[in-house]
Amino acid sequence: MMRVLVVSPDQALVDFLRRELATPEFEVLGSLPGAEFMRAVRRASPDIAVIDRAHARRDVAEVEVALLRDLRHEARIILVSEVPSTEDGRLVEVGVFFYLSASPPLRLPELVRAAAESIRQEASEKARQGELR
């Protein structure tokens, strides 16, 4: 099961992904930014993180991406931005799997599934490499 952590001040985004990914393959967890985010990352050890870089949250999102890279370096990060900005480029450079600039983020479930497939392929490749040794 893939654990998906949605970090957003907007509960509607969490609810949307829960509905769209309602299969045994995914467990969708929600978290507010800040201290709750840190507890959620440690508790859930997410495979995929969706970070909502809503309006004035650019600096907070930057910290969240950096912390995820430190705590769960193998996690796939999807950064969602309602309004695209060239300033988001530095967030993408530090290891974001996909940057989605759209409102509403209708492609988000598809991107989460692509991130899950990427994780499965990487695990399969690691297993094959281990078999060859």
Phi, psi of 19 (to 5 degrees): -65, -45
pLDDT at 115 (0 to 100) = 95
CA atoms of 5 and 31, how far apart (whole Å): 7
Tokens of residue 101, six digits: 């600039």
CA atoms of 103 and 107, how far apart (whole Å): 10
Query: Is residue 33 scored above 80 in pLDDT?
Result: yes
Q: Taking a C-beta distance cutoff of 8 angstroms, is the pair 48, 3 a contact?
A: yes
pLDDT-derived band of residue 99, with 50, 70 and 90 as boundaries?
confident
Average pLDDT over residues 84-95: 72
Query: Is residue 60 scored above 80 in pLDDT?
Result: no
Q: Taking a C-beta distance cutoff of 8 angstroms, is the pair 13, 57 a contact?
A: no
CATH of the domain at 65: 3.40.50.2300
Share of the chain above pLDDT 70, in %: 90
pLDDT at 71 (0 to 100) = 87
For residue 16, the enclosing domain spans: 2-132
- Domains held by the chain: number: 1
The whole model's pTM is what? 0.86
pLDDT-derived band of residue 120, with 50, 70 and 90 as boundaries?
very high
CA atoms of 133 and 130, how far apart (whole Å): 5
Residue 10 CB neighbour total at 10 angstroms? 15
Q: What is the mean pLDDT of the chain?
A: 85
